[in-house]
Chains A and B, each alone.
Chain A
Amino acid sequence: MEESGYFDFSPIVNNIHESLAASFSPGWAMAIAWALIGITLILFAALSVIILVYVERKVAAFFQVRLGPMRVGPWGLLQTVADFIKLLMKEHITSRNADKFLFNLAPFIIVTAAFLGLGAIPFALGLHIFDINIGLFYITAVSSVGVLGILLGGWAGNNKYSLIGALRSGAQIVSYELSITLSLLAVVVLAGSLQLSEIIASQENGWWIFKGHISAWIAFVIFMIAGTAETNRGPFDLAEAESELTAGFHTEYSGIKFAMFFLAEYLSLFIIASVGATVFFGGWLPFHIGTWQAFNHIMDYIPPIVWFFGKVAGIIGIIMWFKWTFPRLRIDQLLILEWKYLLPINLFNLILVSFIALMGWYF
């Protein structure tokens, strides 16, 4: 990156690393660094999920011309904190005929998958837990494990509602995984790398959504649809369709284990949104217009981390908008949408984008 006017987090990270390395043996320094990263990640996840749940309730309320939570704290800001404390104090119920080992394991699988994905996301320049050379592929790989948590959780409860919910969700996630990966591949073809920091660096002179024009737009629309389906959110929330299946795959869960499913759902929403922001909207890069120097300079004053979270918030906003606008699909409509429309369009788009990249028809 030629102009490094952006605020770089790597000196801070290096400082922490060096002070650890100075006062402990290498093994311990590594272990302490891991522990620090883990604690930060857990705190970040808990905080962001609490905020996301609050925002979702407010967004839902505004779509339905209500006020939403207003009583606990100013504008109901503390409502989700109160809800979270309530969830923590609730009784753990394991039904007698459940498969106890799998029942207790399922929430951990799904939360672990979500956290593993969070590790590869670049929040700002230098603020990156691991910048792996296959970043994008890694995120899709670990998030594909999460579906096992849903399948096992639905089965282990020994309840037919949760079993149906799990089967639906399995069919849905396995199918839409294809679309999400193929739509991301469109940008990978343009950027020529799977490493997230390089994908961001390739957008220094313009985000891929603008540079990649037609094929990037197709890829982005498909990414949004498939991403909504991947996170099991409305209008694709058949796995927990309240009106048919009580609560779908997590019907039998209560207290903290239910909270873990909840946490994973919102974390994966965050991961999908940040992958979208990174791949299509330049991650933490500020918004620049060609050669408008003055405008670009003003934009540079906004720190990268604000840009990143702003973009993520925008995408999350769109996904929430979907949820509260469209009616829920039936399972056959859902699968037809994926296999008969999105997948062929996606494959065609991949050929188109390869052609565009070969001919150099992007900016």
Chain B
Amino acid sequence: MERILFYLIAAVIIVFSVLTVTSRRILRAAVYLLFVLMATAGFYFMLNYNFLGAVQLTVYSGGIVVLIVFAVLLTAHMDHKLDPPDRLKALAVGLLSLFGMGITLYALRSFPWAVTALPEGAYDIEAIGMRLLSYGDKGYVLPFEVISVLLLAAMVAAIIIAKKSTSND
């Protein structure tokens, strides 16, 4: 059962990833991207890592894809179609992707994976929270704070850019 689900989700991810980059309508590409991201969340739920799955749903599906769709809604017209890429570029990108896939596959094949059983039940979210804010060994408080500052700076910058355009009229 799990295996069937795994292959189903994997197939969804592969098919829609390809469709995302080949679609010539920008909003459809965004929707295909949404399917890819949601299927990835499905993997996290399958691994019992519910927290990461829900984060994936909120941040990527509910946040980033909504943002992309919003931007497209404001800018693009329905009949607008992207020009098909020229052959040379398509070929170069294809080769590059194959090369990347080769490296990844080689790395996956050569890495000595230690097979472990799925942990009983779901990951403990209290442990995640503690780890995120701990100073000690394997604590993540520094990255956490750095990211907070980065996000704050991005927000301030966004507000300043938005303000500028209104004062210029």
Contacts and interface: CB of A to CB of B under 8 A. Distances in A.
Interface of A: 26-27, 30-31, 97, 99, 101-102, 105, 132-134, 137-138, 140-142, 144-145, 147-148, 151-152, 154-155, 158, 163, 166-167, 170, 174, 177, 194
A134 B58 contact: no
Nearest to A140: B58
Contact of B70 (A30, A141, A170): A170
Interface stretch (B59-67, B82-90, B133-141): B59-67
Nearest to A132: B50
B1 A148 contact: no
Contact of A145 (B27, B57, B73, B122): B57
Given A99-B78, A148-B69, A141 B54 contact: yes
Q: Which 3 A-B pairs have the closest CB atoms?
A: A144-B62, A141-B57, A141-B54
Given A147-B62, A152-B69, A158 B78 contact: yes
Interface in B68-104: 69-70, 72-74, 78-79
B125 interface: yes
Contacts of A132: 50, 122
Nearest to A177: B62
B71 to A, nearest CB: 11
B48 to A, nearest CB: 9
For chain B, the bracket of interface size reads 20 to 34
7 contacts: A99-B27, A133-B124, A134-B125, A144-B63, A151-B69, A170-B69, A174-B70
Nearest to B34: A148
B65 A148 contact: yes
A234 B124 CA distance: 39
B36 interface: no
A272 to B, nearest CB: 16
Given A147-B66, A148-B69, A31 B1 contact: yes
Contacts of A133: 50-51, 121-122, 124-125
Interface centre among A99, A141, A167, A194 (most CB of B within 10 A): A141
Nearest to A171: B70
B13 interface: no
Contacts of A147: 62, 66
Judged by DSSP, the binding face of B is helix
A158 B76 CA distance: 12
Given A151-B70, A167-B74, A170-B70, A144 B50 contact: no
A57 to B, nearest CB: 32
Contacts of B25: 99
A167 B62 contact: no
B1 A144 contact: no
Contacts of B69: 148, 151-152, 155, 170
Nearest to B65: A148
Given A31-B1, A99-B27, A148-B66, 10 more contacts: A30-B1, A97-B79, A137-B54, A141-B62, A145-B62, A152-B27, A152-B31, A152-B69, A154-B73, A170-B70
Interface centre among A142, A145, A151, A177 (most CB of B within 10 A): A145
A99 B25 CA distance: 10
Interface string B103-123: 000000000000000000110
A334 B124 CA distance: 38
Contacts of A145: 38, 57, 61-62
A133 B54 CA distance: 11
Contact of B31 (A27, A105, A194): A105
A138 B70 contact: no
Contacts of B1: 26-27, 30-31
Interface string B16-60: 000000000101100100100010000000000011001101100
Interface centre among B1, B58, B62, B69 (most CB of A within 10 A): B62
Nearest to A137: B54
